[in-house]
Amino acid sequence: MACRISVISRHISSPPLEHLDDLGIRVAPEVRSALSSGVGVVALESTIVSHGMPYPQNFHTAQEVESIVRANGAVPATIAILDGVPCIGLSLAELERLAKLGTMVSKTARRDIPYVIARRGNGATTVSATMFFASKAGIKVFVTGGIGGVHRQGESTMDVSSDLTELGKTPVAVVCAGVKSILDIPRTLEYLETQGVTVVSYSTDEFPAFFTPNSGCKAPCRADSVEECADIIEASTKFGLSSGILIGVPIPAEHAAAAKNVESAIQSALHEAESRGIAGNSVTPFLLKRVNELTGGDSLAANIQLVKNNALVGAKIATALTTRLSRFTKSSCH
């Protein structure tokens, strides 16, 4: 007798991939096969490759992150725009090309997508653009380092990352180390609440602060296992909530940079950015680079470790989520 796919499994399963072909979005063979066969897929942004660190460190780190995803049962899908073509999943050669181009590649948020494509340019996707393309492909889990947020003095400058509005309207679970500590974390959490975003801390009551496990802000929700995280994503999907989910995974304590030193470096970098007139989407790359210099490399080392840890957790969540899809599909067969 034919299978009747349940409402839940229909919501969780990936949409047909033909519509991506029609849109001119290229899906890597490994990713296409995983999406078609129900294997967990983890989206990865590309700005961290082009703008996060120098070559060849960025290339090696990107390879290691993809390897961690595979080792934990899922398929990595690094997302970028190459020669005007949105790509979901990159070959090793494409990944190295992106790494070598570095900051010559356009940092691409949602608003920049039409411009980069129309000019047949190269774009490294930020959180918002990566979420957009991941959602188009039906990818439910996305791993990054940390998200953007409300900048310090944001109440005056109105400088709020598009990551937050994307989380409010795109149903993708973002696994990260919390909000970058160069930002205003309490106001960012308030903004996420306004956007209707479910915010979860992994195995802790405190929302993580990127370089360090502690922000001083209590998390709205807590999940103590990847299965609980998958349950939350499943429930959100089942009821058709159009907003995303933010899962904050604290950096392992042994890799955390000393909070006091990082905070001091952040304050110095903020004053320097202001005095030099650095604004807009140039602020975060400048601050991260300057903080790394001021901390003698400690912040970059912490950044790499937290991304790897996020990849491990994210891959396990994606695998747990697809296990639920398989269970629901089988239970609806007669």
Q: Is the pLDDT of residue 9 over 50?
A: no
If DSSP codes are grouped into helix, strand and coil, which group holds residue 201?
strand
- Sort 126 into a burial class: Cβ within 10 Å, 0-12 / 13-18 / 19+: buried
Q: Is the pLDDT of residue 257 over 60?
A: yes
- Least trusted range by pLDDT, from 8-12, 15-19, 58-62: 8-12
Q: How would residue 260 be classed by pLDDT, with cut points 50, 70 and 90? A: low
Active site residues: 45, 180
> Could you report the per-residue pLDDT of 191-205, keeping only the tens digit for each?
999 999 999 999 999
Which of the two residues, 268 and 324, has the higher pLDDT score? 268
Averaged pLDDT, 220-236: 97
The CATH class of 7-326 is: alpha beta
Q: Is the dihedral of CA 326, 328, 331, 334 positive or negative?
A: negative
Average pLDDT, the chain: 90
> Could you report the per-residue pLDDT of 153-207, keeping only the tens digit for each?
777 778 899 999 999 999 999 999 999 778 899 999 999 999 999 999 999 999 9
Structure tokens at 136: 């188009």
Averaged pLDDT, 33-59: 95
Q: Is the dihedral of CA 297, 303, 306, 311 positive or negative?
A: negative
| Closest to 297 (Cα-Cα) out of 236, 251, 243, 255 | 255
Q: Answer whether 148's CB lies under 8 Å from 115's CB.
A: no
- Ranges of each domain in the chain: 7-326
> Could you report the per-residue pLDDT of 77-132, keeping only the tens digit for each?
999 999 999 999 999 999 999 999 999 999 999 999 999 999 999 999 999 999 99
| Closest to 285 (Cα-Cα) out of 190, 130, 161 | 161
State the DSSP string of 57-123. Answer: HHHHHHHHHHHHHHHTT-EEEEEEEETTEEEES--HHHHHHHHHHGGGSEEE-GGGHHHHHHTT--E
